[in-house]
């Protein structure tokens, strides 16, 4: 078969939109064309994929015209997350793996020149999108580091692969999926939803001496779920009080923790050790409105359940 289809996802803010990676092999002058509103880092996948396939001992169709389309064409795509689906699409189109077996799976991961898989940001957002939308493609293949994040979503079917060959071995035309594919020590492993007890490491409001009125205001705001604005000269204790505000709030629910972790995953700052902790940011008091919501291109959303220490100084 000279045409194959592999499923992946692109990140638009906190939303992980479905993307179809279409690969077509044709006779003609050897070339590798990638279309579909791809960013520069996505277009560089041509060299990574070519080297990864060759160094993994597989056959890259260097005598063919290779055309890769990332659909829908009007959806921006960035990062190296499409390396793995592009490589699998080329292998499926050239008959080295089964194109039919790829149906029902989604893939994301950056490839090294040797074929190892590297973590990508936004894995938790991808897993949440599959879980919330009840997609038929409910099985997700991710690299180490990203798969552990995605497995935090209850009921998610997440598989971790360390190398391109680990994925290829599961989709060979002549072999069915191996039983016991979640064996420890194997490069391919299915991860189950992790139950992580949140480690509360908030600063204690009891450490603050004095400031009785301010502490009372924090307690009232936390109890009623109100916003809070602290105004005062530098050194009056605003930062010290704001850093202890999260300790007054109730523990995060699973949905809140997942949403907060997904926002951190988009920026590549998620850590399992901080699961269930309410994040606190401390932007400078002179920060602009654009800077407060992330700034840059693409924008980085601030997300819900985040405490921002923003003060007005006299």
Do 266 and 122 contact (CB within 8 A), yes or no?
yes
Question: In this structure, are 55 and 174 located in the same domain?
Answer: yes
216 inside domain: yes
Q: What is the pLDDT of residues 195-212, one digit of tens each?
A: 666 666 778 888 888 889
Question: In this structure, are 98 and 210 located in the same domain?
Answer: no
Cα(195)–Cα(124) distance, rounded to whole angstroms?
Answer: 15
308 inside domain: yes
Query: Poorest-confidence range of 38-47, 74-83, 152-161, 199-208?
Result: 199-208
Phi, psi of 230 (to 5 degrees): -105, 130
**Residues written for the chain:** 314
The residue with greater pLDDT, 304 or 241, is 241
Question: In this structure, are 42 and 102 located in the same domain?
Answer: yes
The residue with greater pLDDT, 15 or 188, is 188
Q: What is the pLDDT of residues 222-261, one digit of tens each?
A: 999 898 888 888 888 888 898 888 888 888 887 788 888 8
In this predicted structure, the answer to whether residue 46 has a pLDDT above a threshold of 90 is: yes
199 inside domain: no
Question: In this structure, are 31 and 167 located in the same domain?
Answer: yes
Average pLDDT of span 260-265: 80
From the list 39, 31, 34, 40, the residue with the least C-alpha distance to 21 is 34
**Which structure tokens are listed for 98?**
């089964």
Enclosing domain of residue 141: 3-191
Q: What is the pLDDT of residue 314?
A: 39
272 inside domain: yes
Degrees, nearest 5: CA angle 272-117-10: 75
302 inside domain: yes
Question: In this structure, are 213 and 186 located in the same domain?
Answer: no
Question: In this structure, are 132 and 250 located in the same domain?
Answer: no
Cα(229)–Cα(249) distance, rounded to whole angstroms?
Answer: 16
The residue with greater pLDDT, 173 or 59, is 59
Among 111-125, 127-141, 228-242, top mean pLDDT goes to: 111-125
Question: In this structure, are 90 and 151 located in the same domain?
Answer: yes
- Looking at the 3D structure of the chain, how many domains does it have? 2
> Which are the contacts of 311, defined by CB distance < 8 A and separation ≥ 6?
230, 231, 232, 238, 239, 242, 285
259 inside domain: yes
Average pLDDT of span 28-40: 93
Question: In this structure, are 273 and 210 located in the same domain?
Answer: yes
Q: What is the pLDDT of residues 266-290, one digit of tens each?
A: 777 777 777 778 887 777 778 887 7
Question: In this structure, are 42 and 182 located in the same domain?
Answer: yes
Question: In this structure, are 32 and 173 located in the same domain?
Answer: yes
Among the three residues 191, 219, 250, which one is the final residue of a domain in this structure? Answer: 191
Among the three residues 168, 191, 214, which one is the final residue of a domain in this structure? Answer: 191
Average pLDDT of span 258-265: 80
- CATH number of the domain residue 125 falls in: 3.30.230.10
Phi, psi of 259 (to 5 degrees): -65, -45
Question: In this structure, are 108 and 24 located in the same domain?
Answer: yes
The residue with greater pLDDT, 132 or 178, is 132
Question: In this structure, are 186 and 216 located in the same domain?
Answer: no
State how far the alpha carbon of 90 is from the alpha carbons of 49, 63, 65, 280, in Å. 9, 13, 11, 44
């Amino acid at each position: 078969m000279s045409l194959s289809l592999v499923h992946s996802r692109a990140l638009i803010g906190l939303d992980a939109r479905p993307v179809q990676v279409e690969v077509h092999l044709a006779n003609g002058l050897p070339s590798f064309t990638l279309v579909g509103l791809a960013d520069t880092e996505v277009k560089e996948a041509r060299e990574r994929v070519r080297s990864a396939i060759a160094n993994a001992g597989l056959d890259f169709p260097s005598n063919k015209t290779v055309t890769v389309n990332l659909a829908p064409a009007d959806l921006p795509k960035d990062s190296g997350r499409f390396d793995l689906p592009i490589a699998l699409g080329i292998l499926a189109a050239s008959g080295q793996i089964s194109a039919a077996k790829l149906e029902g799976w989604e893939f994301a991961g950056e490839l090294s020149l040797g074929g190892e898989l590297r973590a990508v940001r936004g894995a938790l957002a991808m897993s949440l999108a599959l879980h919330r939308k009840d997609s038929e493609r409910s099985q997700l293949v991710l690299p180490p580091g990203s798969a552990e994040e995605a497995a935090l979503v209850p009921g998610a079917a997440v598989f971790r692969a360390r190398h391109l060959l680990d994925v290829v071995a599961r989709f060979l035309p002549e072999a069915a999926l191996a039983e016991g594919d979640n064996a420890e020590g194997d490069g391919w492993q299915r991860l189950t939803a992790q139950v992580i007890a949140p480690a509360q490491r908030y600063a204690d409001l009891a450490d603050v001496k004095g400031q009785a009125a301010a502490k009372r205001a924090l307690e009232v705001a936390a109890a009623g779920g109100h916003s809070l604005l602290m105004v005062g000269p530098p050194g009056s204790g605003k930062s010290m009080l704001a850093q202890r505000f999260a300790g007054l709030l109730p523990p995060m629910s699973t949905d809140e923790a997942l949403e907060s972790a997904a926002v951190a995953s988009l920026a590549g700052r998620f850590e399992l050790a901080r699961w269930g902790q309410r994040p606190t940011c401390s932007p400078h008091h002179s920060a602009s409105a654009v800077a407060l919501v992330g700034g840059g291109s693409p924008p980085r959303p601030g997300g819900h359940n985040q405490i921002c220490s923003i003060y007005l100084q006299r």
